[in-house]
């Protein structure tokens, strides 16, 4: 019986959005809870970006997130913008683009600079405004120096929608669209966090997507069948979840995946696949083939969707994600934990 420390302790990989985290959630965190909740609601069993609770003939979508990004201020954004965008986007991925309200709970480490707190709050305010949403309540706590690393933000969002779009409804023949360039946020944060001295313009893409998704839903209607925001674990994780829930195989055309030159450079230098890297201003959208053009058009017309592209298609087969590299083919792995740069 192996007694490696990992069996008893939570490690960084458990928060990285990949397989280890999924297993922790399934085996420990949601253990015994899925049976709770009202019949007809879509809660923990669905393990989607949020929960959808039936209210009259509509759905109340609710989602919650904690944000612990480091550094707090990174090229292209900060923890405040990340918090608001993340929650607004989780709601949008469920089809709920009209946000009723947001909450914000803050835990602050003793010694944290007040000026930084002001910066974060201003950023949250601006981002919420961008999303047409308001922060309506919150909570504040302070912990002793060293008991917490700077700042932890938790945001919850609620929205109403007539139709819930899940991440589980793909069928063979459907196509998969990414709404723009992949890997921007993760590589920007990695560069800043590890002091990589990548003296290039790597910027996070963090942004609220509800306006863009609103137009997507208007253009594609019932043809929009699945949506996920590829945050931790990247597009690979999202594709794996969608393939697994729909019990089919997804084939990705690697040459069609939009990647900025800067992210491509970071990817080559670090040996980390952009498909494994977090995005905070992008969506993966599963669409019936007939609706794909309309959805693409709507995306291209929006400032956040200019580089949108069809990158994959669904085929019959055991749940898997296959990558066509242009020069060959392979399975795309589900990321294990934090992406780590390689030794050669």
- Does 268 engage in binding with other proteins (CB under 8 A)? yes
Residue count, binding to other proteins (CB under 8 A): 46
95 neighbors 187 (Cβ within 8 angstroms) = no
Residues whose CB is less than 8 angstroms from the CB of residue 145 and which lie 6 or more positions away in sequence, other chains included: 109, 110, 111
CA atoms within 13 A on the CB side of 243: 27
Residue among 103 and 320 whose Cβ is closer to other proteins? 320
Binding-residue pattern over the window 197 to 226 for other proteins, x denoting contact by CB under 8 A = xxxx-x------------------------
Q: Which of 110, 139, 261, 293 binds other proteins (CB under 8 A)?
A: 261
340 contacts other proteins (rule: CB under 8 A): yes
Cβ(221)–Cβ(291) below 8 Å: yes
Q: Edge to edge, what strands does the sheet with 135-143 contain?
A: 51-55, 58-67, 151-161, 99-109, 135-143
What CA–CA distance (Å, rounded) separates 288 from 224? 7
Residue placing its CB nearer to other proteins in the complex, 264 or 313? 264
By C-beta, is 115 or 327 nearer to other proteins?
327
Q: Which region, judged by CB under 8 A, interacts with other proteins, from 4-12, 77-85, 223-231, 232-240?
A: 4-12
Nearest to other proteins of 85, 262 (CB atom): 262
CA distance 341 to 320: 25
Query: CB-hemisphere CA count at 13 Å for 17?
Result: 22
Q: Is 265 in the site for other proteins (CB under 8 A)?
A: yes
Return the residue of 110, 129, 271, 316 that touches other proteins, per CB under 8 A. 271
For other proteins, give the closer residue by CB, 6 or 36. 6
Spatial separation of the C-alpha atoms in residues 101 and 157, rounded to whole Å: 6
Dist CA 230 CA 143 (whole Å): 32
Site for other proteins in 9-28 (CB under 8 A): 9, 11-12, 20
Residue 322 within binding range of other proteins, rule CB under 8 A: yes
Q: Does 70 contact other proteins by CB under 8 A? A: no
Answer yes or no whether residue 196 interacts with other proteins by CB under 8 A.
Answer: yes
Which among 118-126, 214-222, 292-300, 319-327 is the span making contact with other proteins, rule CB under 8 A? 319-327
Residue 259 within binding range of other proteins, rule CB under 8 A:
no
Helix (H, G, I), strand (E, B) or coil at 104: strand
- Taking the least distance from each CB to other proteins, the nearer of 69 and 209 is 69
Both tokens of 34, joined, read 């899925």
Q: Are 328 and 265 in contact (CB under 8 A)?
A: no
**Listed ranges 2-10, 25-33, 116-124, 209-217: which one lies at the site for other proteins (CB under 8 A):** 2-10
- Helices 261-270, 184-193: inter-axial angle, 10-degree rounding: 50
- The window from 134-142, 151-159, 269-277, 282-290 that contacts other proteins (CB under 8 A) reads 269-277
In this structure, what token pair is assigned to residue 103?
Answer: 């909450």
Residue 313 sits in the site that holds other proteins (CB under 8 A): no
* Spatial separation of the C-alpha atoms in residues 136 and 143, rounded to whole Å: 24
39 or 195: whose CB is closer to other proteins? 195
Q: How many CB atoms lie within 10 A of CB 318?
A: 8
Residues in the chain: 344
Q: Which residues contact other proteins by CB under 8 A?
A: 1-6, 9, 11-12, 20, 194-200, 202, 255, 261-262, 264-266, 268-271, 273, 322-331, 333, 336, 340-344
């Amino acid at each position: 019986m192996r007694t490696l420390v990992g069996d008893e302790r939570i490690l960084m990989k458990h928060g990285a959005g990949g397989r280890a985290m999924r297993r922790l959630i399934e085996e420990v965190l949601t253990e015994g809870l899925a049976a709770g909740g009202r019949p007809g609601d879509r809660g923990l069993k669905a393990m989607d970006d949020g929960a959808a609770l039936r209210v009259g003939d509509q759905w109340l979508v609710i989602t919650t997130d904690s944000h612990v990004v480091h550094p707090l201020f990174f090229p292209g954004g900060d923890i405040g913008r990340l918090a608001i965008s993340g929650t607004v986007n989780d709601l949008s991925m469920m089809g709920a683009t009209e946000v009723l309200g947001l909450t914000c709970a803050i835990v602050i480490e003793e010694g944290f600079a007040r000026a930084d707190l002001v910066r974060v709050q201003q950023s949250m305010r601006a981002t919420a405004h961008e999303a047409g949403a308001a922060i309506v309540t919150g909570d504040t706590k302070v912990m002793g120096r060293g008991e917490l690393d700077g700042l932890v933000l938790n945001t919850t969002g609620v929205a109403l929608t007539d139709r819930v779009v899940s991440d589980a409804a793909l069928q063979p023949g459907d196509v998969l669209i990414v709404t723009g360039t992949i890997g921007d946020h993760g590589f920007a944060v990695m560069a800043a966090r590890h002091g990589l001295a990548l003296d290039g313009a790597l910027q996070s893409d963090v942004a609220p997507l509800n306006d863009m998704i609103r137009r997507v839903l208007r253009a594609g209607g019932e043809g929009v069948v699945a949506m996920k925001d590829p945050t931790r674990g990247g597009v690979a994780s999202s594709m794996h979840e969608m393939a697994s829930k729909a019990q089919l195989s997804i084939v990705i055309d690697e040459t069609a995946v939009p990647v900025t030159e800067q992210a491509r450079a970071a990817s080559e230098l670090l040996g980390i696949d952009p498909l494994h890297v977090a995005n905070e201003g992008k969506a993966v959208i599963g669409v019936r083939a007939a609706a794909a053009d309309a959805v693409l058009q709507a995306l291209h017309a929006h400032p956040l969707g200019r580089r949108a592209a069809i990158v994959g298609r669904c085929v019959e087969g055991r749940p898997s994600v296959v990558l066509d590299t242009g020069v060959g083919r392979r399975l795309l792995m589900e990321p294990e934990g934090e992406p780590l740069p390689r030794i050669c």
